[in-house]
């Protein structure tokens, strides 16, 4: 059982209502069934044919996030089933002025996995596409431990000084710091955090997702994660489904 199979078991055990309402999986061939969709797909995006239900679930999660109800959606399926394409199709429908998107990806690593790799990737890209000074300033104030992991965003002397100032910081602090940073960032615009290939990430990232799910503070935050399960979930093909409660 991989880290994210354990994660889902933790979610179901600790937060049955959250698990029932917000856990979403995809099973079956998502590359297009040829069936008619209520959503009119563009000629340039044939994937949207037959994907109305999945796209609607993502849209519903975004609407709740825009109202300050933090959302976490997990998209799972075997390689090539269309997880990334579904998310890209959903993001392509959004007005860029309404949301801020940060995307990161975990990669397969030999040996010990680098903590928070997908999240750090997303933050680095966010600093490049958004206002770098604003993002760096907020990281310095709210999440200095994370900023220290991205020294390329700072002048060398500044990065060295920051590392020295954090020499006694405990790893657990990084969880709290990022939660506060994401809440602060999403106070100005709805933030969509996309984390791909979470089956290759580390236990620290699992703990981070658990914390983001548990916090009660309002946040215009939608986290979308993709991962490969060990076994396909038991639900009808080409549909989002929620596991039944015991």
CB 38 within 8 A of CB 52: yes
Query: What's the pLDDT at 148?
Result: 94
Q: Which residue has the tokens 């954090």?
A: 166
pLDDT tens profile 28-84: 333 333 322 333 344 445 555 567 788 888 999 999 999 999 998 888 877 887 888
> How far lies 195's CA from each of 52, 153, 222, 244, in Å?
22, 21, 11, 26
pLDDT tens profile 135-188: 999 999 999 999 999 999 999 999 999 999 998 878 789 999 999 999 999 998
Interatomic CA distance for residues 159 and 103, integer angstroms: 24
* Terminal-to-terminal C-alpha distance of the chain: 21
pTM: 0.77
């Amino acid at each position: 059982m991989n880290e994210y199979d354990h994660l889902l078991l933790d979610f179901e055990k600790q937060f049955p209502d959250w698990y029932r309402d917000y856990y979403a999986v995809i099973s079956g061939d998502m590359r297009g069934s040829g069936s008619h969709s209520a959503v009119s797909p563009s000629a340039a995006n044939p994937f949207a044919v037959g994907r109305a239900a999945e796209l609607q679930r993502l849209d519903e999660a975004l609407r709740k996030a825009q109202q300050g109800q933090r959302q976490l959606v997990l998209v799972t399926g075997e390689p090539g089933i269309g997880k990334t394409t579904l998310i890209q199709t959903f993001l392509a429908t959004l007005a860029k002025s309404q949301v801020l998107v940060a995307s990161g990806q975990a990669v397969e690593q030999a040996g010990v996995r680098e903590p928070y790799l997908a999240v750090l990737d997303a933050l680095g890209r966010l600093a490049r596409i958004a206002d770098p000074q604003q993002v760096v300033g907020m990281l310095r104030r709210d999440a200095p431990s994370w900023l220290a992991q991205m020294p390329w965003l700072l002048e060398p002397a500044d990065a060295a000084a920051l590392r020295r100032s954090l020499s006694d910081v405990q790893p657990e602090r990084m969880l709290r710091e990022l939660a506060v940073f994401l809440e602060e960032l999403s106070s100005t615009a709805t933030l969509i955090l996309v984390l791909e290939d979470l089956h290759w990430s580390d236990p620290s990232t699992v703990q981070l997702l658990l914390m983001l799910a548990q916090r009660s503070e309002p946040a215009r935050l939608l986290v979308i994660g993709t991962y490969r399960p060990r076994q396909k979930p038991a639900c009808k093909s080409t549909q989002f489904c929620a596991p039944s409660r015991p």
